[in-house]
């Protein structure tokens, strides 16, 4: 739960080189917007694309996504309101208190369903630990 640059790179220059090499055809690997920044993944949720940075008010200073407090706030707000999945569906939609959990689609609150099984496993372990801690 630490905000990082894409590829765990230490500098903007290293991250730019990383996305240019590994994702040359992804639009977020090239400079965009009036500031010439590359809007590769930053933060806890790996925010990408100029439009997302602009919507969050940090397009002029994309490294703000690396600030631990801002990154945590961004993650929690995005998980709750579903701002990144194109449907505005947050975690409560996929993990309702009165119904079955949809762990695959809950992944959509941050990204597509990549790695959903791994993340679902973390969720299940966390929920089991909470249940075991109850008196």
| Spacing of C-alpha 109 from chain mean position | 8
Contact 35, 75 (CB under 8 A): no
The residue ranges of every structural domain in the chain are 4-71, 82-133
pLDDT computed for residue 110 by the predictor: 86
Q: What is the C-alpha to C-alpha distance for residues 20 and 80, in angstroms, rounded to an integer?
A: 32
pTM score? 0.86
Name the pLDDT band for 111 (thresholds 50, 70, 90). confident
pLDDT computed for residue 30 by the predictor: 95
- Count how many Cα atoms sit within 13 Å of the Cα of residue 69 in the half-sphere of its side chain: 0
Q: What is the pLDDT of residues 67-107, one digit of tens each?
A: 999 999 999 999 999 998 888 999 999 999 989 999 999 99
């Amino acid at each position: 739960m630490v905000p990082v640059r894409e590829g765990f790179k230490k500098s903007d220059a290293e991250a730019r080189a990383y996305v240019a090499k590994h994702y040359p055809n992804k639009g977020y690997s090239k400079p965009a917007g009036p500031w010439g920044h590359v809007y590769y993944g930053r933060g806890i949720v790996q925010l990408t694309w100029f439009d997302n940075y602009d919507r969050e008010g940090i397009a002029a200073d994309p490294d703000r996504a690396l600030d631990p407090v801002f990154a945590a706030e961004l993650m929690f707000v995005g998980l709750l309101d579903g701002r990144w999945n194109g449907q505005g569906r947050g975690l409560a939609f996929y993990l309702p208190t009165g119904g079955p959990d949809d762990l695959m689609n809950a992944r959509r609150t941050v990204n597509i369903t990549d790695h959903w099984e791994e993340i679902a496993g973390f969720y299940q372990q966390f929920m089991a630990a909470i249940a075991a801690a109850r008196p």
